[in-house]
Amino acid sequence: MAPAPLSPIKVGHIEDVQELQKSKPNKVPERFIREGNERPAFVISQESASSDIPVIDLSNFSSPGLDDFLSETLRLSHACEEWGFFQVINHGIEMEVIEEMEKAAKEFFGMPLEEKQKYPMEPGTVQGYGQAFIFSEDQKLDWCNMFALGLHPPSIRNPKLWPTKPVRFSEALEKYSREVRKLCEGLLRNIARSLGVKEGRFEEIFGEAVQAVRMNYYPPCSRPDLVLGLSPHSDGSALTVLQQSRDSCVGLQILKDSMWVPFQPLPNALVINVGDTIEVLTNGKYKSVEHRAVTHRERDRMTIVTFYAPSYEVEVGPMAEFVDDETNPCKYRRYNHGEYSHHYVSNKLQGKKSLDFAKISTI
Ligand code: OGA
Ligand code: NI
What is the full per-residue pLDDT of the chain (363 aa) written as tens digits? 555 555 545 666 778 999 999 999 899 999 999 998 899 987 666 666 777 899 999 999 987 788 888 999 999 999 999 999 999 999 999 999 999 999 999 999 999 999 999 999 987 788 999 887 877 778 899 999 999 999 999 999 999 999 999 999 999 999 999 999 999 999 999 999 999 999 999 999 999 999 999 999 999 999 999 999 999 999 999 999 999 998 888 899 999 988 899 998 999 999 999 999 999 999 999 999 999 999 999 999 999 999 999 999 999 999 999 999 889 999 999 999 999 999 998 888 888 989 999 999 865
Residue to mutate, 145, 146, 216, ligand 1, most ligand atoms under 8 Å from C-beta: 216
Nearest Cα residue to atom 8 of ligand 1: 252
Does the CB atom of residue 251 touch ligand 1 within 6 A?
yes
Closest-lying ligand 1 atom to the alpha carbon of residue 218 = 10
| Proximal ligand: closest to the CA of 275 | 2
Please report, for the domain that includes residue 49, its CATH number.
Answer: 2.60.120.330
Residue to mutate, 214, 291, 299, 349, ligand 1, most ligand atoms under 8 Å from C-beta: 291
Kindly give the distance from the C-alpha atom of residue 327 to the centroid of ligand 2, in angstroms, as a whole number: 31
Does the CB atom of residue 293 touch ligand 1 within 6 A?
yes
Kindly give the distance from the C-alpha atom of residue 120 to the centroid of ligand 2, in angstroms, as a whole number: 21
Q: Which pLDDT score is estimated for 50? A: 72
Is 245 a domain residue? yes
| Count: domains in the chain | 1
Q: Which pLDDT score is estimated for 273? A: 98
Kindly give the distance from the C-alpha atom of residue 102 to the centroid of ligand 1, in angstroms, as a whole number: 15
Does the CB atom of residue 265 touch ligand 1 within 6 A?
no
Does the CB atom of residue 277 touch ligand 1 within 6 A?
no
Q: Which pLDDT score is estimated for 15? A: 86
Kindly give the distance from the C-alpha atom of residue 254 to the centroid of ligand 1, in angstroms, as a whole number: 10
Is 13 a domain residue? no
Q: Which pLDDT score is estimated for 5? A: 54
Does the CB atom of residue 252 touch ligand 1 within 6 A?
yes
Q: Which pLDDT score is estimated for 249? A: 85
What would the 3-class secondary structure string for the chain be? CCCCCCCCCCCCCCCCHHHHHHHCCCCCCHHHCCCHHHCCCCCECCCCCHHHCCEEEHHHHHCCCHHHHHHHHHHHHHHHHHHCEEEEECCCCCHHHHHHHHHHHHHHHHCCHHHHCCCECCCCCCCEEECCCCCCCCCCCCCCEEEEEEEECHHHCCHHHCCCCCCCHHHHHHHHHHHHHHHHHHHHHHHHHHCCCCCCHHHHHHCCCEEEEEEEEECCCCCCCCCCCEEEECCCCCEEEEEECCCCCCCEEEEECCEEEEECCCCCCEEEEECHHHHHHCCCCCCCCCEEECCCCCCCEEEEEEEEECCCCCEECCCHHHCECCCECCCECCEEHHHHHHHHHCCCCCECHHHHHCECCCC
Q: Which pLDDT score is estimated for 248? A: 83
Kindly give the distance from the C-alpha atom of residue 66 to the centroid of ligand 2, in angstroms, as a whole number: 34
Is 5 a domain residue? no
Residue to mutate, 217, 292, 305, ligand 1, most ligand atoms under 8 Å from C-beta: 305
Does the CB atom of residue 142 touch ligand 1 within 6 A?
no
Q: Which pLDDT score is estimated for 3? A: 58
Does the CB atom of residue 305 touch ligand 1 within 6 A?
yes
Kindly give the distance from the C-alpha atom of residue 290 to the centroid of ligand 2, in angstroms, as a whole number: 8
Kindly give the distance from the C-alpha atom of residue 337 to the centroid of ligand 2, in angstroms, as a whole number: 18
Q: Which pLDDT score is estimated for 361? A: 81
Does the CB atom of residue 214 touch ligand 1 within 6 A?
yes
Is 11 a domain residue? no
Range of the domain at 337: 24-357
Is 1 a domain residue? no
Kindly give the distance from the C-alpha atom of residue 291 to the centroid of ligand 2, in angstroms, as a whole number: 6
Does the CB atom of residue 301 touch ligand 1 within 6 A?
no
Q: Which pLDDT score is estimated for 63? A: 77
Does the CB atom of residue 183 touch ligand 1 within 6 A?
no
Q: Which pLDDT score is estimated for 47? A: 65
Nearest Cα residue to atom 10 of ligand 1: 303
Q: Which pLDDT score is estimated for 4? A: 55
pTM over 0.85: yes
Is 16 a domain residue? no
Does the CB atom of residue 228 touch ligand 1 within 6 A?
no
Is 161 a domain residue? yes
Q: Which pLDDT score is estimated for 247? A: 84
Q: Which pLDDT score is estimated for 243? A: 97
Is 69 a domain residue? yes
